[in-house]
Amino acid sequence: MSIRSIAAYFPWRRVKVVYHNVVQASRSALVRLEPDGRFHPLCHACGRAARTVHSHARKFVRDLSFGECEMLLQVEHRKVWCDACGGVRVEKLDFVPVCERITVRLAAYAAELCGAGLSVQAVADHLNLDPKTVKACDQAVLEREFGRTDYRGLQHLAIDEIAVHKGHHYMTVALDHDTGRVIWMGEGRQIETLDAFFSAMPAEVREALEAVAIDMWEPYIQSVRKWCPQADIVFDLFHVVKAFNKVIDDIRNEEFRRADGENRQALKGSKYLLLKNRRHLDRPQRVRLKEILARNSRLNTVYLLKDFLKHLWTYRRPGDVQRELTAWCRLARQDGHPSLARFAGMLERHRYGIVNHAKHAVHTGRLEGVNNKIKVIKRIAYGFHDLHYFALKIKQAFPGRRESNN
């Protein structure tokens, strides 16, 4: 073959070009393809050669653009009688699947653009395709790579929920804590949701799990205990502090309503001063926070309790956590506020999961990072109506460290 040949740009096997035309005004090109008589037609179902041609048909197929021209193929294909299948079948052509209106390489290019972070609509606009066609191309690639749940190599899990729509519509996310790989996503956050994940997990993988990081959501606790009784449940610092922040804010509102004069003015607009980490405050904010805590002994107490609470997750010996947690609950009850007493009772009921963090330094912090990126993916796509496709996109975005999966 001549080194000047451009045939490699047009890999249309088993057919031949009989006509082509370029319309400069519309920046489009038409190429007409007919069966190459040197080849017997192949059955698309079984792939075997067929000797009897039943009829001929034509269809228009989009291909990759060539230069500035949008490429349109008019493909003549044969319908054949297949002895092996015992019926009429469409001829198999490698460059375009049966019943498809775009070539294999255009579909692959569309999926590649979607995988690079472009939305389906952006890719559709760029390639002048229907968004449904682009989504189907992307989803087909994702199904091949991420359609099946890969349970291999799991030892430490992080499980949390993410909001997918307004109105308390959630999906449960399971993450391999060691690699950062999103393993599975399921609709809802009920016990049945997580049961579906664990029931499909091979028994030897469930038995090898050492720890599962979750928040204090009872359906998750029950499901983990049911399917992985040997695994230690670890409660995450982020969710515990988040719950205590609600207690702080309730007490701050209560103190604001009871205050008057300068004390009331000092508390006005102070919500985030009390909830933020001290290192995230600038100098004027730290000065104001110090003044508030000096004026209000109860708020000073809860602020100190918040710092004390975070410190529980720094210990590496279970005995130290037991002792300090007991001290925390005693100080909370000494204040006498019912909200603090209730929170102390909640911590004591879930003591085991806090103590287990000393044995397994796992947490759902990785999932919080996943959650932030999921929000970006949703924003780019203007939301997802197909939750299965959404789950595949999240798996694609978080494949984890692949060398750890071997």
H/E element, 156: strand 156-165
Mean pLDDT for the stretch of residues 157-183: 88
Task: Return phi, psi of residue 318, to 5°.
Answer: -55, -35
Mean pLDDT for the stretch of residues 357-382: 79
Query: Does the pLDDT value for residue 384 go beyond 90?
Result: no
Buried b (16+ CB within 10 A) or exposed e, 366-403: bbeebeeebeebbeebeebeeeebbbbbbbbebebeee
pLDDT of residue 383: 60
Query: What is the assigned CATH class of domain 156-236+363-405?
Result: alpha beta
AA identity, residue 287? V
Residue 153 DSSP class: T
Residue 405 structure tokens:
């999966």
What pLDDT digit, counting tens, does each position of 97-120 carry? 988 999 999 999 999 999 998 989
Query: Does the pLDDT value for residue 404 go beyond 60?
Result: no
In angstroms, rounded to a whole number, what is the distance separating the alpha carbons of residues 73 and 95?
Answer: 11
Q: How many residues does the chain have?
A: 406
Task: Return phi, psi of residue 221, to 5°.
Answer: -60, -45
Q: What is the CA radius of gyration of the chain?
A: 31
The percent of residues in the chain predicted with pLDDT above 90, rounded, is 69
Instruction: Please state the domain extents for the chain.
Output: 7-101, 156-236+363-405, 237-358
Query: Does the pLDDT value for residue 243 go beyond 90?
Result: yes
Residue 329 structure tokens:
């609950």
For 379, the 3-state DSSP assignment is helix
pLDDT of residue 90: 93
In angstroms, rounded to a whole number, what is the distance separating the alpha carbons of residues 235 and 159?
Answer: 10
Residue 55 structure tokens:
């009829």
Query: Does the pLDDT value for residue 362 go beyond 60?
Result: yes
Mean pLDDT for the stretch of residues 36-62: 91
The percent of residues in the chain predicted with pLDDT above 70, rounded, is 95
pLDDT of residue 26: 83
Secondary structure of 221-253 as H, E, C letters: HHHHHHHCCCCEEEECHHHHHHHHHHHHHHHHH
What pLDDT digit, counting tens, does each position of 185-238 carry? 999 999 999 999 999 999 999 999 999 999 999 999 999 999 999 999 999 888
Query: Does the pLDDT value for residue 3 go beyond 70?
Result: no
pTM of this prediction exceeds 0.85 = no
Which position has the token pair 């205050």?
A: 259
Query: Does the pLDDT value for residue 367 go beyond 80?
Result: no
Q: Is the dihedral of CA 111, 113, 115, 119 positive or negative?
A: negative
* More reliable by pLDDT, 275 or 366: 275
Query: Does the pLDDT value for residue 2 go beyond 60?
Result: no
